[in-house]
Chains A and B, each alone.
Chain A
Amino acid sequence: DQQVKQNSPSLSVQEGRISILNCDYTNSMFDYFLWYKKYPAEGPTFLISISSIKDKNEDGRFTVFLNKSAKHLSLHIVPSQPGDSAVYFCAASVDNYGQNFVFGPGTRLSVLP
């Protein structure tokens, strides 16, 4: 029973264009969400987060959108760069302290020059 789903295992985007990575969740108690990026042979690196009281959070080229009614969030990367090529994980937490995050299976993004 996968509580956090990333239904696209992979995504290819041209350099300079927008990358949109999607994440769906089933547990309505989730109220804090994060995106992580992972390069091969490294641990995941935190990118951006959003709490359930917001519907958008922006940090430079990265924006996360949250639609609580649809239990859906997305990460937008604009403009995409070749260095963004990595696996992106969506993670969700059931409490305000982020004790225990549930991760999705990841989406591999390839940004083509």
Chain B
Amino acid sequence: DTGVSQDPRHKITKRGQNVTFRCDPISEHNRLYWYRQTLGQGPEFLTYFQNEAQLEKSRLLSDRFSAERPKGSFSTLEIQRTEQGDSAMYLCASRSGAASGSYEQYFGPGTRLTVT
């Protein structure tokens, strides 16, 4: 399977706990994106990496959220001191940096977070 993978697929945690999600992009893709999706809404952009550099962060990404891509391959998204409002689907996407003229992002299956 050469698609984008995410782990875990589901996470239930108690309010105040920390959680970490992992994303493995398509191997030749140097750009990686994190999105959050809540019920009835489209994905909302959180942050973006080109290789290991985090180039853009949304104002949605509060201080409790941190993302890393240490070696320019997989990425982690950590949420500290989770709140019930953090309950959502967290989606990872990747795309090639080649100047192919197409800019579509390829999404993983997502990690569904439930904060109780």
Contacts and interface: CB of A to CB of B under 8 A. Distances in A.
B91 interface: yes
Interface in A3-45: 4, 9, 32, 34, 36, 41-45
B109 A42 contact: yes
Interface residues of A, number: 25
Given A43-B108, A49-B102, A100 B41 contact: no
Interface residues of B, number: 23
A41 B107 CA distance: 12
Contacts of B45: 100-102
A34, A99, A104 — which one has the most chain B CB atoms within 10 A of its CB?
A99
Contacts, number: 54
Contacts of B4: 43
B103 A32 contact: yes
B41, B56, B105, B108 — which one has the most chain A CB atoms within 10 A of its CB?
B105
Given A49-B102, A49-B103, A98-B103, A103 B42 contact: yes
Contacts of A89: 42-43
Give the 6 A-B residue pairs with the shortest CB-CB distance, closest first: A98-B103, A103-B42, A43-B107, A46-B104, A44-B107, A89-B42
11 contacts: A36-B107, A41-B109, A42-B109, A43-B4, A43-B93, A49-B103, A97-B103, A100-B56, A102-B45, A103-B42, A106-B41
